[in-house]
Each structure stands twice: as structure tokens, then as C-alpha cells.
Chain A
Amino acid sequence: MIVQMHGVEKRYGTTRALVGADLAVPDGAIMGIIGPNGAGKTTSMLIMSTLLARDAGMVSVAGYDPATQASSVRRILGYMPDFFGVYEGLDANEYLDFFASIQGVRPEARPAVVRSLLDLVGLSHKSTADVNTLSRGMKQRLSLARALVHDPQLLVLDEPASGLDPRARFELRELIAELARMGKTVVISSHILSELEDISTHLAVVDHGKVMAQGSLGEIRSALTNQVRITVRTRDELLDAAEAILRSDAGVSEFRSERGTVRFVFDGDDEASSRLLRRLIDGDVPVFEWRVETAGLEELFLKITDGVA
């Protein structure tokens, strides 16, 4: 685990931002932290990025404590906040060169580093453009390049896609996937669930300062529920027969049928749903389509955070 948080607490005045938060980020993972605004996502990220002191609990980043070994953590961590941070009068080249210099990159190595990063984020053609004139999507990509200037092992990205148009979001997603392929561990937060669903290998659901669930999407799903939605298409005149077979299974509920299509919720694992399909076929009900829909991130999120107050 490259990042470990255990029982972390943080309070701003009378507001508890984190209440005993536990988080574990495996090496090489893309860990998506999801949660509504004010859930504690940014606070968690600030603490692991050495920018905020925790009030209690344990935090380790690559074996270092961000509170007491901040310099060691900063060497292996690239942080991208949810804002751009503009310096007036600098072009993209100079902007990255400046951040490379404050990250301790040797002067003779800087031009090559800057060139390759601009290449990576697709901004080579904007290298001499004033950073103020770049579009929001470009600024976000430049921010990502800024976080990468010292070739960190771990990237912490706070709401990187916030305010981007669909194309810019897609480009950023591709870029993050590329970074994961390069072996970087990425911790990324968002309150837009679909964004993280597509890109994350692991997820942590944060709400009211607590990590409610974490793991791979499959692990979270199976930990919460075995329920799937199944749609079966057959002959219209055989709907009653199909209904009789399906209803006889204890795992079937919320049954609905219309014009050759049956929809229901099935509570059982893959083996059980396979047996159900076999019973339909054995009952002489031709199955033209058998579609299994697992619970989406949104559904899981609502289930996890339901009743938390």
C-alpha cells in the first residue's frame, strides 16, 4: 500500500471534516475518492499531500509520515489542486520550468523535462503561449504536467475534471489512464460518479468525514449486494410460462413483463443466475436475449450513503 490512513480525524473549528477515516491505496492503482461536496475528500488529500496536519490518527505515504517527514513525501508526490494557480506573464515553457526548479530538477535537465511533459499532455504547440490565454482544459492538462515535473510515484488529483467540457474530460481521462500505464499510482477525487467509474481501478466512498466503503468496484458491489437487474426477451405468447418459471425462484423480485420482455431483480451470484437461465431453456422458453445489469456506481453510492447523517 502506497498510502495508508487509519483513524484520521480533522476538525475545522466546530466542524468535523474527518472522523476516524481509514483509507488504503494499493501501489499502481487509480483510486477514485467519491463523495458529495463537504464529505472530506479534499481534506483527506491535503493531509496525504503534506498540506494539512491531522488532529489524530495515522497516515503513511510510501512509509513516510506527511506531518513529520513532509520533505520525503513531497519528493515522491505530485499534487494537483482543484484550481489552476496562475502566474502572470509566464508562458507554458517558463511555467513548467519554474515548477521544475522549485522541485529540485537540475537546470541542465529542465528543458528536456519540460519538452517531454508538454508532449505528454499535448501542449507542445502552446509552449510559448501565455498561460493566462490557455483554455480551461489546457490549463488542467498543464496543471497535470506541473504535478509531474519531478517524476513522482504518486499523483494526488483533486477534482481534476471539474468545470471541463466533455471533450476535455475525455482527454484528461485518457491522460490519467496513460499515467497509470506508466506505473504511477493515482488518487483522484470527484463528485461526478460516472467519471471515476470509467477510470478507477479502486474506489473509496467518503461521506460525512468517514470512508464508508473501499476496494475495487466489484469488491464494493459484492460487499453491498448480490442483486442484479436481468432483462429476458422471449416470444410474446410464452411470457406467462416464463413468468411461472422465474417466479418460482426465491431470488426473483420486482417482476415486470410487457411485449415479449421480462424484467426482474435477481438476488444471487453468477452461478445462481446461470441455473435460472438453464431452467427457462429446459422449460421450452426460447431466450433471445439475457441481459444482466450490475448496480452502477451511482446506485452503490446511494446505497452506501443512505441514512448516513
Chain B
Amino acid sequence: MMNPLASRELRTRFRGGRASWFVSVWLLVAAGIGYLTYLLARETASSSFGFQFGGGGQLAASMMGQMMFETLAFILLTGVLFVVPAIASLTIVGERERLTLQLLQVSQLGPVRIVFGKLASSLAYMLLLIVAVGPVLAVPLFIGGVRLRDVFAILGMIVAVAFTVGSIAIWSSARAKSTRGAVGAAYLWVFVLVGMTGLTSIGELYLLRGDTTEFFPANGREVYSLLPNPYLAMVSAAEEPLSLNDFQNPNFFGTSTPFAAVNELLVRRQIGDPYRAFEGGFIEADVAFPEPFNGQVVQPDTRIPQRRGPVWVRALLIYTIISALALWRSSMLVAAPASGSRKFRLPRKEIADAAA
């Protein structure tokens, strides 16, 4: 049975024209971006392979499909990171400001159901937006270069990120005294998850570089501070590595999609040498390009640890822990009577006087 809180919120949210307008605009923007990406990808494919697209170049089509999918996935994840905190952070503090939180607290709904109801209503809206762009995401599938399994893996990771960010935003909402404070805190935590992990990784990379002259470590060690990063998690979820096709241009600044840049920055540098495979990890260049290309032969790097689990599994574990903690704290904050309040006792004489 659906959580009554989520059911009411969804019903009222989709009543009236505001929601349908927002979904329409969202779809138009997604379609527009999809079309622009298509044009860009077609141009890149044409120039990279030296012939006009349409001439039967399977590799060109594959590259085009990948580019489109990567860009759309990148934008979708960015959308999730912006939209979910905005929706979820208003939920509990909104009840408090509307003076309806007490009415929920005194009902048979426990704090856990209140918190999960709020989370479910926030995520349901986001899920609708994700599902709505499904047709746009399907276009690269038809063009080629993208596996269905990877589409689901990427979307699954986006949903996992949405759940985590939603949980953090619910916690911010439960703690906040005003909507402004709740939204600010939620976006601050998103910045920590995305921006701070990126910035911290620079320091970590510096420490890892050892005595090599290169900034990035060449020994294949992982950059742990990047593990919670949503973009890294999403990239690693794909079985067929994304944006590894740009063999002629290994410098990430030269790659053509933002996803490729993230991939280069956050993933490839972790193995030190982008041309080497990483067994047990998430990059297997020979899967993407089983045949040597442009005379370069991909060789596995035996120096890299073999039993390291996929990054996305560890990212999911981190997200599970973050979400569980955030939701547990939210439940504590929503519970009534508030638990953990500091006890005080009057001196006995004062109690006796008051009673007298």
C-alpha cells in the first residue's frame, strides 16, 4: 500500500497546470539538447573519421551514439543534482512552516513513515522526469555504440544518486528552521559530494604521485576521495567504458563531450596509463576496442592490483551508508516527543515549594 503522505503529495503536486508545464518544458529542453548533441556528434564523427556520415561508417555511427548518450546522461545527472535537493529539502521544513508537522507527528504515522513518505514523493517526481526523457535517451540506442545494459546501468546509478541526494536533502529539511536554510544546506551537501570530492582528489593525487614527474599517479592506485563522486559513480556503472574511443586524443581537455572530460579526469587517470586495461576494475579498453586501432596495441598493465572491486559497487556502498545515516537522523528529528533532549531536574526543595 502506498504511503499516504506520498500519495497526497503526488496528487496535489500534479493537480493544476504547474506540473504539466514543468514536465513539458523539461521534455522540450531534453529534446533540444538531444538534437544539438546529435548535430555535434555528427560533425565530430565526420571530422574524426574523414568521411561524411551516411557513408556507411559503422565506427562513426558508434562514436556518434556514444557521444549523444554520454552528453545526455551527464546532463540528466546534473539535472538530478539540481532538482532533487530543491524538491526534497522543502518537504519537512515546509510541513513545519505550514504548521502541519505536529498533525503528522500526533498521527499513527511513525517518524520513519513520515520521512520515507517525503522521500518517496520527492523521488517519484524525479523518476517521472527521468522516465520522460526515455525516448530521447533511446535515440543513441538506435544509432549504435551504446548497449542497452549500459543504458540501464547508467540510469540505475542516476536513480541511486537521486536517492542519496534526496536523503541528504530530507535530513537538511528536518534540521532546518526555514525553507531557505534547508535549501542552502541541501545544496551545500551536494557541493561537498560533487565539488569537494573533486577538489580533495587533487590533493590526494599530489600525495600519490610519488617521485614521478607527472602529476597523476602512474601506479594505478585509486583516488579514494573521488569514490563518492556521483559522476565517477555513473561513469563506472557502464560495462563498456564511456569516452574511451578518443584514442587519438588522450588529453581530456581535447575530448568532445563533458562526459568524456569527467571520464578522463576522474577515471582514466586512476590507472595511470589510459592505454592499459584494468582488470577487476571498471576500465577494460579491449572490451570497447577489441581490435588494435591506429597501430596502437592495448596491453594489460600487470602492475595494477587484480582483485579490486568495481568502483560503482563501492560508490553504491558509500551511498547506502550516507542515505541510511541521513534517513535515520531525519527520523530522529521528526520523532515526537523529541528524543535525546537533555534532562533537567529542579532541586528537591524547589519541587516541594512548588507542590506546596
Contacts and interface: CB of A to CB of B under 8 A. Distances in A.
Interface string B1-41: 00011011001100110000000000000000000000000
Contact of A85 (B5, B16, B99): B99
B295 interface: no
B345 interface: yes
B106 A74 contact: yes
B292 interface: no
Interface residues of B, number: 33
Nearest to B5: A102
Contacts, number: 99
Contacts of B336: 50-52, 70
Contacts of B351: 7, 9, 20
Interface in A129-183: 146, 150
Q: What secondary structure prevails in chain B residues at the interface with A?
A: loop
A89 B12 contact: yes
B16 A89 contact: yes
B295 to A, nearest CB: 65
A12 B355 CA distance: 20
B213 interface: no
Q: Which of A16, A66, A89, A104 has the most CB of B within 10 A?
A: A89
Contact of B341 (A53, A104, A150, A210): A53
Interface stretch (B42-50, B57-65, B107-115, B152-160): B107-115
A11 interface: yes
Contacts of A79: 102-103, 106
A269 interface: no
A98 interface: yes
Contact of A71 (B98, B100, B110): B110
A47 B99 CA distance: 18
Contact of A53 (B103, B108, B338): B338
A70 B339 CA distance: 12
Interface in A5-30: 7, 9, 11, 16, 19-20, 22
A81 B107 CA distance: 13
Given A86-B98, A98-B4, A52 B16 contact: no
A85 B354 contact: no
Given A66-B337, A85-B100, A55 B354 contact: no
Q: Which of B99, B106, B339 has the most CB of A within 10 A?
A: B106
Interface in B337-356: 337-339, 341, 343-346, 350-351, 354-355
Contacts of A53: 337-339, 341
B105 interface: yes
Contacts of A90: 8, 12
A190 interface: no
A11 B7 CA distance: 38
A142 B219 CA distance: 70
B104 interface: yes
A89 B343 CA distance: 41
A5 to B, nearest CB: 12
Interface string B234-247: 00000000000000
A257 interface: no
Contacts of A146: 103
Contacts of A102: 4-5, 104, 107-109
Contacts of B107: 74, 99, 102-103
A188 B258 CA distance: 63
B344 A56 contact: yes
Interface string A233-248: 0000000000000000
Interface string A46-85: 0101111101100000000011001100110101010111
Contacts of B338: 52-53
A72 to B, nearest CB: 11
A98 B8 contact: yes
A56 B12 contact: no
Interface in A205-220: 210
A101 B4 CA distance: 6
Contacts of B102: 51, 79, 81, 85
Contact of B103 (A56, A66, A81): A81
Contacts of A19: 346, 350, 354
Contact of B98 (A47, A87, A99, A101): A87
A49 B99 CA distance: 16
B106 A9 contact: no
A108 interface: no
A198 to B, nearest CB: 28
A255 to B, nearest CB: 37
A258 interface: no
Contacts of A7: 351, 355
28 contacts: A9-B351, A19-B354, A47-B337, A49-B106, A51-B105, A51-B336, A51-B337, A52-B338, A53-B337, A53-B338, A55-B341, A55-B343, A56-B346, A66-B337, A67-B337, A75-B108, A84-B99, A85-B99, A86-B98, A87-B12, A87-B98, A87-B100, A98-B8, A101-B4, A102-B5, A102-B109, A146-B103, A150-B108
Interface of A: 7, 9, 11, 16, 19-20, 22, 47, 49-53, 55-56, 66-67, 70-71, 74-75, 77, 79, 81, 83-90, 94, 98-99, 101-104, 146, 150, 210
Closest 9 CB pairs of A and B: A20-B354, A53-B337, A101-B4, A85-B100, A89-B12, A102-B107, A104-B108, A83-B99, A19-B354
Given A55-B344, A87-B12, 13 more contacts: A51-B106, A51-B337, A55-B345, A67-B337, A70-B337, A71-B110, A85-B98, A85-B102, A87-B98, A94-B11, A98-B8, A103-B108, A150-B108
